[in-house]
Structure 1
Amino acid sequence: MIELDRVSVSFEGATEPVLRDVSLRVDEGELALVVGRTGSGKSTLLGAITGHVPHFTGGTLAGSVRVAGRDTREHRPRDLADVVGVVGQDPLAGFVTDTVEEELAYGMEQLGLGASTMRKRVEETLDVLGIADLRGAALRELSGGQQQRVAIGSVLTTHPKVIVLDEPTSALDPTGAEDVLATITRLVHDLAVTVVVAEHRIERVLQYADTLVHVGAHGVVTQGDPAQVMLTADVAPPVVELGRWAGWSPLPLSVRDARRRAAPWRSLPTAPRPPVAAPGHALLDARRVTVTHGTVVAVAEVDLSLRAGEVTALMGRNGAGKSSLLWALQGSGPMRSGSVRRRHGTTSDATDVRALDAAERRRHVGLVPQSAADLLYLDTVGAECAQADRESGRDPGTCRSLLDDLAPGIPDDRHPRDLSEGQRLAVVLAVQLTADPPVLLLDEPTRGLDYAGKAALRRALRRLVERGRSVVVSTHDVEFVAESADRVVVMAAGEVVADGPTADVVVASPAFAPQVAKITSPQPWLTVDDVRYAVGEPS
């Protein structure tokens, strides 16, 4: 169904090809998972399959790409629209209508399908993705995860032979991601649709993959059996890391397989890792915060204290009110009632955050929103970093150093809009970390970051809290929470339904438990490091 024969892709000004001499094949009814470091060329590979590279992106493509028998040299993306469906990293950027129902029907209208067929397929897709209640909703008013489901649905309605998805679950909560992946696997198994997925949260998709495509350094691409390729891949989910460390063969790719191998560990005496230092005094106090959007109550009388020396994970399903709460805490977003006060030391002195002007608020409470790229407005990455150093009064090179930790290799002269989603996010994170506010709020900061990027972010956040800062991370990334958070706050329908130490909250939750917790339950272990500490050298 998809064939690449000795494909290389180069862009003007680049010192080496993004992809080098790539040959691979994905057969009908296969799910191919594309993995690799941030900026390695995964999106370029997907673009070559869909015809966007080089027809829309420019550059030079050598070799041949054939999809459903059509050569992309001769068939532009519009000529492939009836056989290839594409879901990009930013769903909002790809919408062309105003409401959910209109967006689901748009692709079919372009293909000239009949009204009765379109109506039937729209209804089927609404039900399959669980978004029937959003039928008439405005696309711009949806949460990021809801927008992602609609984007996937708009592709599914056209019944393509090939579906190409770039980070399809990155904005979805764990349950929503499982629903979408279940839909995708049904298409593969029951309708013989060929699916190509690029995903940084490999733990969500790996067990479903028929073939694995690894985009490595210098544009070298390897394809093969998932377990075999994962033995040496430079990105790996916790289940694979655990299997590598334990020396399991064949390498387990799912929690179920790993749990069978880990049976002896579950009877060991409990040995949790030593706790981190206790948090300090409150830096920010929110009391009875209520946020409404029209008639919808997004946040309902929430009380929350953010303490020095603590990373707090804010979790909950899509639409639970997490982003609305973050904007209210920062002081920029709407708030119907309640108070947000920045505490100064252990005294009773406090500042009303919402009474400050925008510049002053940012010095007290920093916020990186989901649409992080909106904060980038200069022409080059180097200019953004230099501006961040000047505005924050930091030594030149501070922001650049932080960026190199998060996503190494991004050239100073590259325009931010020419970067991948993950690279743009890394630039924004570096800019905000340079400012070093006492309270830092991050909304889905790991979206688009690979495991190494997440580890670098985790180290940066740990350095902040060790210096007495408070960090809040709103995220669906349960593995990042397991590695990084001291405390977890869970929201549902605008209310806080759980608040406590990370292990106490996530281990008890089937939706938010990380892979290691599921593999080793009832042990209180969340990460591979926890297992190493408790088990010692594997037998």
Structure 2
Amino acid sequence: MSTEWIPFVQLSGVSYTYEDSTSPTLEQISLEVQSGEWLMIIGGSGSGKSTLCRVMNGQLPRIAGGQREGNVRIGDIDPGFAEPGLLASRMGSLGQDPDAELVVGMVEDEIAFGPENLRVPAEEIGRRIDHWTKALNLQSIRYESVHQLSGGQRQRTALAAVLSLQPQLLILDEPAASLDPAGKQDLLRIIEDWHQSGGTLITASARWEETVMLCSRVVILSEGRIVLQGTPDELLLHHRSLLEQLYILPPRTGQSVASKAVMSAAGYSRYSDTDQNFHADHTMKADKAITRTTSKTEQHHQHSEKEHHNYYSETMSMAVPASATVVSRQPVVEVRDLTYSYSGSAAYPALDGVQFTIHVGEIVLLCGVNGSGKTTLTRLLSGLLQPPVRSIYRNGQDTGRQSIYDRAADTGYVFQHPDHQWVASTVWEECVYGIRASLNLRSRDILPESYRKEAEDMLRFAGLLERREDSPYSLGGGQKRLLAAVCQFLLPRPLYILDEPGSAADYFTIDRLLYLCRRAASQGAALLIVTHEPELFAGSGARMLTLEQGRLVEEKYSI
């Protein structure tokens, strides 16, 4: 007597609509994942991939409310309504923002928190802590507060906390978004070994990366629907044009230098331009996705395409030549022998003897492994941390002797996780908040027409004008990064600092951000961009600084 195969993860006709939204974020998702399979979900910003992960892990509608339709099963349970303890014994999940996953305070305690709540014996918990702190390179910070860690260190801590539960299923949404290249390779090795040991793995990404080639199957999302699925080789061979139109692969036509630089890492160059036929069973859905995406893009960007008649050409033409970035230019920031230590941390200073200058119109990339001091440096430069006296100078003034208001007034700062900087309830109010503050306008005062038009143009350029009445928290990851950047670039400032702006972003987001950076530099601003992916800024003429254990170890023009 034969037995019917039952998938470990099963979704049938699943739709989801957030509270206060008139349209669903997910529409009629039907999907099966076999036990031991590795499924990769890829979709551009706003495609619904993070929402799909949260529906599968039970956070929606359990935490954020909203309306879910259809059936979701993880084994024999519905994650949206199962007891938390039962769910935790089956599945582990990690979202894009590690701060949302950390609940205790110390690295060791975070790893122990889940097993303790599942009543795992203390001796076994100790073994799991030892294993995962070693595997994820957390031994040196095992007893540190998570609030003092870098973004990548917090990401690894959150992952260790999930893996310590020994789940059967892992759902990871952009798990490597905050990691340096070495950390990404370590993570890849760990999750690949975990999968090879029999675990079921679901990962989500905004763009096609080298990790995709290791998974069993790929699902492509667009506007809340599955438009393609198949093996990585099948999709690259037969559906490359659609992947480009959805900003999952870099474009070939009129592509930017930055896009060219990342093509090889994406596995893109392995296939020729021939054989563009779609599989018959996906043609209808793919065509509809193209139509919706194209019409929506044209509607969102009609004005900006007219204003910026050749987007890619104009973007590249605005680059500051590397040989001319420091000639006859006034310094915007001077850092002189900067040493900084956090209170209670005696191992080594977070920054040690750092010295450099950023000039008018210059783009500087700040690179380095997780924990090298990048975030500390940006917080000192932006005024969020009190710098030592005689270490940082702006306009000839020692910022160590200034108030936090004076230090921060001339700096635009885009956080690594934009959710941490929202101050308004809608996209529009967030966009114009800084303008209103700079003009001393009250909430009922009318925004001057010129400012209103400029804000609308910027939102249209970012593809967010139709989302103006939505909450910033409801946006996709790339959309949030664009909104955060737009809010800062609307106000002219001598210095802009962007912390990992390309992290977990599709190619639409990356190229729009790059355009905004170049435009600001062409208008005389200086930019400091923290990144683990300097290749995204290829051709920009940027200078690259590299930190290692708080010291500036390299400075070069190689981008």
Shorter-chain TM-score bucket reads 0.7 to 0.9
The separation in 1 between residues aligned to 2:225 and 2:553, in whole angstroms, is 46
SS of the residue 1:396 aligns to: helix
SS of residue in 2 equivalent to 1:395: helix
- Residue type of the partner of 1:33? M
1:10 aligns with 2:17: yes
Q: 2:248 maps to which residue?
A: 236
Answer yes or no: is the 8 Å Cα contact 2:364–2:527 preserved in 1. Answer: yes
Q: Determine if the alignment matches structure 1 residue 284 to structure 2 residue 296.
A: no
1:166 aligns with 2:222: no
Match status 1:223 vs 2:229:
yes
Corresponding residue for 1:406? 462
Match of 1:21?
28
Find the counterpart in structure 1 of residue 446 from structure 2. none
Distance in structure 2 (CA, Å) of the matches to 1:400 and 1:373: 21
- Distance in 2 separating the partners of 1:253 and 1:46: 28
Q: Deviation digits for residues 378-406 of structure 1, max 9, x if unmatched? A: 22222122222333457124334334433
Name which of structure 1's ranges 109-118 and 4-13 shifts more when overlaid on structure 2.
Answer: 4-13
SS in 2 for 1:502: coil
Give the alignment of 1:58-73 within 5 angstroms: 58-72=65-79
Q: Distance in 2 between matches of 1:410 and 1:319?
A: 39
Contact 1:407 1:453 (C-alpha < 8 Å) held by counterparts? no
Tell me the equivalent position of 1:205. Answer: 211
What amino acid is the match of 1:194?
A: T
The reply on whether 1:423 has 2:430 as its aligned counterpart is no
CA contact (8 A) 1:50 1:77 kept: no
Quick check: 1:200–1:449 contact (8 Å CA) kept in 2? yes
Amino acid at match of 2:118: L
What is residue 525 of structure 1 aligned with on the other side? Answer: none
Q: Which residue of structure 1 lines up, in the alignment, with residue 383 of structure 2?
A: 331
- Of 301, 304, 322 in structure 1, the residue corresponding to residue 356 of structure 2 is 304
Asked if 1:481 is matched to 2:537, the reply is yes
Consecutive unaligned residues in structure 2, runs of 5 or more:
1-7, 257-262, 273-315, 440-449
- Contact 1:340/1:354 (<8 A) preserved: yes
Give, in angstroms, the shift of residue 465 of structure 1: 0.9
Alpha-carbon distance in 2 for matches of 1:418, 1:129: 31
Deviates more, 1:287-296 or 1:453-462: 287-296
* 8 Å CA contact 2:39, 2:216 repeated in 1: yes
Give the one of 181, 192, 203 matched to 2:188.
181
CA 1:72–1:300 in 2, change beyond 3 Å: closer, same or farther? closer
From 85, 95, 109, the counterpart of 1:88? 95
The answer to whether the 8 Å contact 1:313/1:485 transfers is no
Question: 1:48, 1:418 → 2: CA distance?
Answer: 15
Instruction: Identify the residue that residue 49 of structure 1 maps to in structure 2.
Output: 56
Q: Which residue of 1 aligns with 2:47?
A: 40
The structure-2 alpha-carbon separation of the partners of 1:388 and 1:179, relative to structure 1 and needing over 3 Å to count, comes to same
Aligned to 1:445: 501
Change (3 A) 1:363 1:72: closer
| 2:341 alignment partner, SS class | strand
Q: From the superposition, tell whether residues 491 and 23 of structure 1 become closer, same or farther in structure 2 (CA, over 3 Å).
A: same
For residues 210-242 of structure 1, give each alpha carbon's deviation from its aligned partner in whole angstroms, at most 9, with x where no partner exists: 21121103534432222333422213345x969
CA–CA separation in structure 1 for the residues paired with 2:270 and 2:423: 48
- What is residue 557 of structure 2 aligned with on the other side? 501
Distance 1:76-1:403 versus aligned 2 partners, 3 A rule: farther
Cα shift at 1:421: 4.1
- TM-score normalized with structure 2 length: 0.79
| Equivalent residues, number | 478
**Who is 1:491 aligned against?**
547
Q: How far does the alpha carbon of each residue in 1:357-414 deviate from its partner, in whole angstroms, 9 at most, with x for none?
A: 4444344332223343333222222212222233345712433433443353562222
Question: How far is 1:276 from its partner?
Answer: 4.5
CA distance in 2, matches of 1:410, 1:37: 17
- The letter of the residue matching 1:500 is K
Deviates more, 1:482-491 or 1:33-42: 482-491
Report if aligned partners of 1:51, 1:76 keep a CA contact under 8 Å in 2: no
Give the one of 153, 157, 162 matched to 1:155: 162
CA distance in 2, matches of 1:404, 1:19: 24
Q: Distance in 2 between matches of 1:492 and 1:293?
A: 17
- In 2: Cα distance, 1:388 partner to 1:228 partner: 47
1:100 aligns to 2:68 (yes or no): no
Write the mapping of 1:332-347 to structure 2, written as runs, cut at 5 A.
332-343=384-395
Deviations 1:250-294 (A, max 9, x none): xx9867894799xxxxxxxxxxx9984321512222111111113
Offset of residue 142 of structure 1: 1.1
CA distance in 2, matches of 1:57, 1:492: 40
The 1-side partners of 2:119 and 2:540 are apart by 50
CA distances 1:308-351 after superposition (whole Å, capped 9, x unpaired): 222111000011111111122223423335432224xxxxxx33
Q: In the alignment, is the contact (CA less than 8 A) between 1:6 and 1:63 conserved in 2?
A: yes
Matched with 1:293 is 342
Within 5 A, what are the aligned runs for 1:108-127?
108-127=115-134
The whole-number CA distance in structure 1 between the counterparts of 2:539 and 2:112 is 42
Take 1:407 and 1:300, find their aligned partners in 2: how far apart are those partners?
Answer: 42
Give the partner amino acid of 2:359: R
% same residue: 29
Q: Which amino acid aligns with 1:159?
A: Q
**3-state secondary structure, aligned to 2:467:** coil
Cα distance, 1:467 vs structure 2: 1.3
- The alignment's C-alpha RMSD in Å is 2.8
Kept after mapping to 2: 8 A contact 1:85/1:155: yes
Superposition map of 1:464-479 within 5 A = 464-479=520-535
Match of 1:456 in 2: 512
How many Å separate the matches in 1 of 2:434 and 2:401? 25
Secondary structure of the corresponding residue to residue 183 of structure 1: helix
User: Distance in 2 between the 1:483 and 1:199 partners?
Assistant: 25
Partners of 2:465 and 2:160 in 1: how far apart?
Answer: 35
Map of 1:310-389 to 2, 5 A cutoff? 310-343=362-395, 350-389=396-435
Q: What corresponds to 1:531 in structure 2?
A: none
Cα deviation for residue 425 of structure 1 reads: 3.2
CA–CA separation in structure 2 for the residues paired with 1:408 and 1:371: 18
Whichever residue aligns with residue 437 of structure 2, its letter is: E
SS in 1 for 2:379: helix
* One-letter amino acid of the counterpart of residue 117, structure 2: Q
